[in-house]
Amino acid sequence: MIESLFWIFFFIVIYTFPGYAILLWALVKLKHLFRRRKMSAELPDVLPHVCLFVTACDEVGHVVAKVENSFQLNYPKEKIQYLWLTDGSGDGTPDRLRVFPEIQVEHLPERNGKIHAMNRGMQFVDAPIVVFSDANTMLARDALLEIVRHFQVPKVGCVSGEKRILEKPCDSMAAIGESFYWRFESRVKALDAELSSAIGAAGELFAIRRELYEPVDADTLLDDFVISMRLVEKGHRIAYAPAAFAVETASLNLREEYKRKTRIAAGGIQSLARLYGLLNPVRYGWLSWQFFSHKVLRWTLAPIAVFGLLPVNLCMVAGKQSGLTDFFDLFFGFQFLIYLLAGLGWLFEKSLTRYKLFFLPAYFFMMNYSTLAGGIRYFMGRQKVAWEKSRRA
């Protein structure tokens, strides 16, 4: 029994993290082998109008940089509607924005959460393509062109940009870990999109067709994920545009990143409960497998398996049950070493930043622990729609 539990946990961990990515890569290669790769969509002769939609609550410190970045995008300025929703801001964000006559500011004093502002703001959108972005992220110069190009494919209902972390020589362990995570995640997203559809969009930069938007429940925690996957439910694809990237600074430290990951995990559990229909392989085919492997496992069984492996392995080694081989002893030693490195990385984050041996285990265990904590927080009803912001570097 204990040995069976070990192998179940072991398989879940290996499959969820490196295994799925490797299998996905192999399937994409096979797809290209038996089916000619489709030509990339070209830009239309006449560029469509787009709405650059930004929700901002108490972001006065980022307003000028974000507006300047928006004005520098390689897209006809007369074809961009610059729309900002600043509901709940009390730090002067709306007043700072009104200095720029090109910016359309819609403001309510009440703070009802981001998704409420998004639902309210859609009535002001005049363009056929809505590009959502955060106030603290800077966009690549050609981001809008890349997004519009992907919308030339009729089945594409959503385009997800790529999130990149701004790396600096003095970065914290959280910054290095987050950057590594997003490089890996971006590659998996690109493979997902090549097989059938990306699984969810990056909230820092994603776009949808205006006519496809439907109001989302006001208590939604992961607006980007739910909005994009609801389109997939209706038969549309999420295209992935790595050249349309958004850059932001990392969390200040592991504790701030833990806070951010915890609330994302709470939103993830909520999203799974609302999108369970996507697990029907008869209707969605490959996408059901992708959704289960990429998101369901990560937010449910994988964290349990990660932290369950060590005590199960310890029971096997201590009990010296029949069938034990040197593998279980070696694997226990390996796990103990990884936990030790992670613990040292967490305790001495500032002084061990330059040693990569510490930041990967520390970030990996922090990420999975925050997923467990987020699930508990959600089921206990402790996660609020208006999230507390994590401090960034």
Would you say 228 and 238 are in contact if contact means Cβ atoms under 8 Å apart? yes
Is residue 12 within 8 Å of residue 42, measured between CB atoms?
no
The CA distance from 178 to 176, in Å, is 6
Give the model's pLDDT for residue 249: 84
SS3 content of the chain, % helix, strand, coil (to 5): 55, 15, 30
- Is residue 270 assigned to a domain? yes
Identity at 339, one-letter amino acid code: Y
- Locate 255 and state its tokens: 């504790």
With respect to residue 306, please indicate whether it lies within any of the assigned structural domains.
yes
Q: How many residues does the chain have?
A: 393
Dump pLDDT digits (tens) for 125-172: 999 999 999 999 999 999 999 999 999 999 999 999 999 988 665 556
Distance CA 284, CA 269 (A): 21
Cα-trace Rg, the chain: 22
Find out whether 290 and 21 touch, Cβ atoms under 8 Å. no
Find the mean pLDDT for residues 172-186.
Answer: 82
Q: Is residue 97 part of a domain?
A: no
Q: Report yes or no on 359 lying in a domain.
A: yes
CB contact burial 337-371 (16+ within 10 A = b; e otherwise): ebeebbebbbeebeebbeeeebbbbbbbbbbbbbb
By residue range, what is the domain housing residue 187? 1-39+153-393
Residue 207 has pLDDT above 90, yes or no: yes
Position 32 scores a pLDDT of: 86
- pLDDT for 393 beyond 60: no
Q: Is the pLDDT confidence value at 349 over 90?
A: no
Q: Is 260 helix (H, G, I), strand (E, B) or coil?
A: helix
- Report if residue 257 sits inside a domain: yes
Q: Which tens digits make up the pLDDT trace of 241-288?
A: 999 999 998 777 788 889 889 999 999 999 999 999 999 999 999 999
- Asked whether residue 383 is domain-assigned, the answer is yes
Q: Is residue 69 part of a domain?
A: no
Taking every pair of C-alpha atoms in the chain, what is the biggest distance, in angstroms?
76
87 lies in a domain?
A: no
Residue 16, C-beta contacts closer than 8 angstroms, at least 6 positions apart: 293, 297, 298, 301, 302, 305
**Helices and strands, number each (H, E), in the chain:** 15, 8
Number of domains in the chain: 1
Cα 310 from Cα 75, distance rounded (Å): 53
Q: How far is CA 387 from CA 128, 220, 237, 349, in A?
A: 30, 11, 29, 25
